[in-house]
Structure 1
Amino acid sequence: MTENRTSVQNLAQQYIEAGKPKEWFEILYSQANNDEKLVPWANMQPNHNLLQWLDDHQIQGQEKTALVIGCGLGDDAEELAKRGFQVTAFDISPSAIKWCKNRFPNSLVNYLVADLFHPLAEWNQTFDFILESYTLQSLPTSLSSQSMPLIANFLAPEGILLIICRGRNPEEKLEKVPYPLTKNYLMQFVDVGLSLQQFEDYFDQQDSPPGRRFRVTFKK
C-alpha cells in the first residue's frame, strides 16, 4: 500500500506541475480498473470520522437533501442515503461514477459526473447538508480556495457543511498530495458567509501512525 500511495502521489504531482491539477483523478480510477487496492483512499466502507460525527450529532436526513463532493467510490454517499437523506454525489472522474453505479446497482443516490468548478445551476442554495471529505486537500491550495464560495453557495438557508481533512500547522511545509489544511485556510468559509459551529482537531487512531485530522462544521 505504501508503494501504491507513493505512485499515486507521483501521478498527482506530475499533473499538477503540468498545470492539470484535476485530470489525474480520472487517470487513477481508470487505470485501477475496478481494483480498489490501487486507490489509496478506497476503504470500501464509510469514513469512520463521518460515522462518528453523524452518531454524535444524531443526524437523520428525512426529507433533507445532501451533496457529497468528490464522492469517490460512494461509501459515504450510501451511508447518508441509509440515514434518510436524498443524496446527490458527484465526482470529476467518469470511471469513479461508473464504479459507484456498478457497486450499488439499486442505490437511491443520484450519482453524477461533475466538476466542482463548473457546477450545475440547480445546485445553488439547494442542499441541507454537504460533505467535503478529503477532496480539498487533494488540490493545490490556490485552486481549492476558489471552490469555497461555490460550496457555500450550494447550501440552503440553515444548511450544514461538514469538512473532514488532514490538518497541519501553518509552518509545516507542503510536499505532495494530500496537502494537509490549516485552520486559517478553512476559516475562509467564514469569509464567504458561513458561521463556524465546531472545530475538532484530533489524531485519527485508525491511521498508522495516527494522523492529525480536522473535522469542521459550518452553518449557513
Structure 2
Amino acid sequence: MLLSAFNLSPLFAVMLIMGFVLGITVHEAAHAFTAWRLGDSTAYRQGRVTLNPAEHLDPLGSVLLVVAGFGWGKPVPVDASRIRGGVWGPVAVAFAGPASNLAVLVVCAALYRLAVFQEGFLLVTIAAFAFTNALLFVFNLIPIPPLDGSKILYPFLPRALNGFVGFMNEYGPYVLLGLVLLGYFLSRVPPFYVSPLSFIISSMLQPLYLALALLGVPVPPPPLF
C-alpha cells in the first residue's frame, strides 16, 4: 500500500508513514501506561511509558510495513498476575491500544472541521493520520492472537470453547499470517482481487466512519485504500 502510494502522491505516502509511526507509538504507549496504572510496572521499568517512537517501533516490522503493507510494533510486556481489576484489568490494558488510535482519529476528524485543515498540506496530513489510525483501530480489534481483539473477547467466551481458545492462542499468529499471504495471492487472481483480511477491515471501517459522521465529525476520505 505505501509503495503504491508513492507513485500516486509522494506527500500523502510520507504522511501515511508518519501516521503509522504516530499510531503505533500511541498504541503501544497506551498499553504500557494502562498496565502501569493498574499495577504492572513491567513495561514502565523498560521505558515503554513514553511517546518516543524509538521505544515502540520494531525495525523489521517497520520495514515490512513500508514494503509489504503489513507490519508491527514492539509488543508491550504485560504481567497479567500483577494487574488489578480481575478479568477486566487485562481487558482494559488490551483495549487501551485501539482506544488510543480511536482518540487520534477523533482529534483528526475534529481538526478537519476547522477551515485551515480543509486544504493543502494540512488536509493531506489530517487525512493520512485519520486513515492510518482508523486502520490500526479496526485491525487490532480482529480477534486473532496476538491482536488485541483476542485479549478483549476470549476472556468472556464460554468454557466450552476453551479448546478453540487454546488452539488460537498457540496458532493464531500463523492463522493471521496465513490470511495475509492468502490475501496477497487472491488479490492478484481473477475474479477475487479482494483479500479476506482486506474485506474484514473495510467492513469494520465503514460503520466507524458512519458513526463519526452521525456525530457531526466528518473524516476526510483517504485517497487510497
TM-score (norm. length: structure 1): 0.29
The structure with the greater share of residues assigned to strand is 1
Normalised TM-score (structure 2): 0.29
Identify the structure with bigger relative contact order (alpha carbons < 8 Å, sequence gap 6+): 2
| Structure with the bigger percentage of helix | 2
